Amino acid sequence: MRMVDIISKKRNGDELNEQEIAFFIDGYTKGTIPDYQVSALLMAIYFNGMTEKETATLTQAMVDSGETIDLSKIEGHIVDKHSTGGVGDKITFITGPLVASVGVPVAKMSGRGLGHTGGTLDKLESISGFNIEMTKEEFIQNVNTNKLSVAGQTGNLAPADKKLYALRDVTATVDSIPLIAGSIMSKKLASGAASIVLDVKTGSGAFMKTLEESKELAREMVNIGNNLGRNTIGVISDMSQPLGYEVGNANEIKEAVEVLQGKKVDDLRRLGLELAAHMTVLAGAFSDYEQAYHNLEANLDNGKAFQAFRTFVKAQGGNIEMIDDLSKLPKAKYDVEVKAETDGYVSEIDAEAIGIAAMYLGAGRATKDDEIDHSVGVTLMKKIGDPVKAGEPLVVLHSQTENPEDSVAKVQHAYNITAEETAPIELIYEVIK
Ligand code: URA
């Protein structure tokens, strides 16, 4: 087989077969096929797309390029959730304990963030002592005992994706829906869950900015999962403004804990329950969505979900006093208000700009070696649809400096205020099965 023939086949719009896809993934992973030929193939895929069969085959080949995690020693049906990322997304800290509170195991491998704010691991490390390094045996034991554990991604999962993603980044081929879907799903499938709930974000703070693109990505990922033997569903959720009110690290943990303690932060509570309900139905704990939602909501209100979070933090060495008394979480030196200049209603918030403002404060990484400051971040005081008067704070910046002017400028441009009242926005657009 020759790589040049595979490139010309795809360039002509024909479907690649299993052997051809395996040949290119295997050769690229081993270094026997050069970057320039793979770049040409990626561009041909970018323009001509891939069939459902090709996308599933590509994903499986990327899974097979490295290790897979064997979770068979965990008791029960393991269901994972993956979010395509956004600003203020602390939903894992709500869905994880909720699902665990009804006895369904959550075994989560997570990464660190490269971007506006930290990833799941960085946020958890706001809690002093919290440990994400553990052996596979400790991880499995933690899940079997407490039903919830979060560990740093270990091993060599989908190395073909790692190489391809880096190449796509420098060849303008990242924005291809089959390539994105295959990339995300290869890592999820290699992590070993039996069922997967995908939280696909849409809007200004999401990878996919339009609803149409988000639906297409969700459909592709759901098809891949189902074609490769995992029960998969996709929930399209709003990211046209940050989720909840807090963006950062320690402040996101604080907000998630408050929701677990019963605080009614509408979007967080609703999305947390919705995703957890789908997860527990896929795991077979409930017969239908309504029954699941009802039982999970009861566990949010009776404190069982909060207790599951406490148990999880304690088991991983986290300082539980910081959870019982949230004022003990790291705090920045200054609170700097950014005020509205006119009266009106908030019609738009550029979520990505809020994320960048948080990153300027030190809540995220611009390069992978940057250190995160867990104490800094942004608190939104107004969200879309809220009335506002000139002089009222739109946000509070939690900063280590007295005048964080770059973040202030970013936030000022992020808010749009109009004279007319704005209609509330949807939180959940569609569930794709
Ligand atoms: N995230 C991934 O893991 N892969 C992509 O291609 C895009 C986003």
- What letter represents residue 379's amino acid? T
Cβ–Cβ under 8 Å, residues 21 and 32: no
Angstrom distance (rounded) from CA 15 to CA 139: 41
The more confidently predicted of residues 320 and 115 is 320
**Contact in structure between 278 and 116 (CB atoms under 8 Å):** no
- 227 pLDDT exceeds 70? yes
Taking alpha carbons only, the member of 393, 391, 361 closest to residue 378 is 361
Residue of the CA atom closest to atom 1 of ligand 1: 184
**What is the overall mean pLDDT for the chain?**
94
The residue contributing the CA closest to ligand 1 atom 3 is 184
Active-site hit among 65, 80, 81, 82 = 82
Segment 251-265 mean pLDDT = 96
* pLDDT per residue as tens digits for the range 134-173: 988 899 999 999 999 999 876 688 999 999 998 998 999 9
Active site residue 183: yes
Given the structure tokens 């009776």, which residue do they identify?
Answer: 302
For the cut 70, the answer to whether the pLDDT of residue 341 exceeds it is yes
274-294 residue pLDDT tens: 999 999 999 999 999 999 999
Q: Is the pLDDT of residue 183 over 90?
A: yes
d(CA 349, CA 125): 28
Q: 82 an active-site residue?
A: yes
SS3 285: coil
User: Is the CB of 165 within 6 Å of ligand 1?
Assistant: yes
Ligand 1 neighbour 180 (Cβ under 6 A): yes
* Cα separation, 111 vs 121, whole angstroms: 6
User: Hunting for tokens 């994320």 — which residue is that?
Assistant: 355
| Closest of 7, 9, 16 to residue 50, by C-alpha | 16
Share of the chain above pLDDT 70, in %: 99
Confidence at residue 113, expressed as pLDDT on a 0 to 100 scale: 67
Contact 237, 271 (CB under 8 A): yes
The reply to whether 230 belongs to the active site is no
pLDDT at residue 195 in the model = 94
- What pLDDT is attached to residue 112? 74
**Is the predicted pLDDT of residue 114 greater than 70, yes or no?**
no
Q: Where are the beta strands (DSSP E) in 216-326?
A: 231-238, 246-248
Q: In this structure, are residues 397 and 335 in contact, taking their beta carbons and an 8 Å threshold?
A: yes
Confidence (pLDDT) at 10: 98
Cα of 223 to ligand 1 centre, how many Å? 17
Instruction: Spell out the alpha helix ranges (H) of 136-249.
Output: 136-146, 159-169, 177-190, 211-227
* Model confidence band, residue 85 (pLDDT cutoffs 50, 70, 90): confident
Beta-carbon neighbour count of residue 422 at 10 Å? 17
Query: How far apart are alpha carbons 311 and 106 in whole angstroms?
Result: 13
Q: Is 183 in the pocket of ligand 1 (CB under 6 A)?
A: yes
Q: Which two tokens stand for residue 287?
A: 């017969």
Percentage of the chain modeled with pLDDT above 90:
87
> What pLDDT digit, counting tens, does each position of 17-66 carry?
999 999 999 999 999 999 999 999 999 999 999 999 999 999 999 999 99
The answer for residues whose C-beta is within 8 angstroms of residue 55's C-beta and 6 or more apart is: 178, 181, 182, 220, 223, 224
Identify which of 280, 316, 307 has the alpha carbon closest to the alpha carbon of residue 139. 316
Q: Cα(200) to centroid of ligand 1, in Å?
A: 12
Atom of ligand 1 nearest to the CA of 207: 8
**C-alpha span between 128 and 139 (Å, rounded):** 20
- Whole-prediction pTM value? 0.94
Which numbered atom of ligand 1 lies nearest the CA of 179? 6
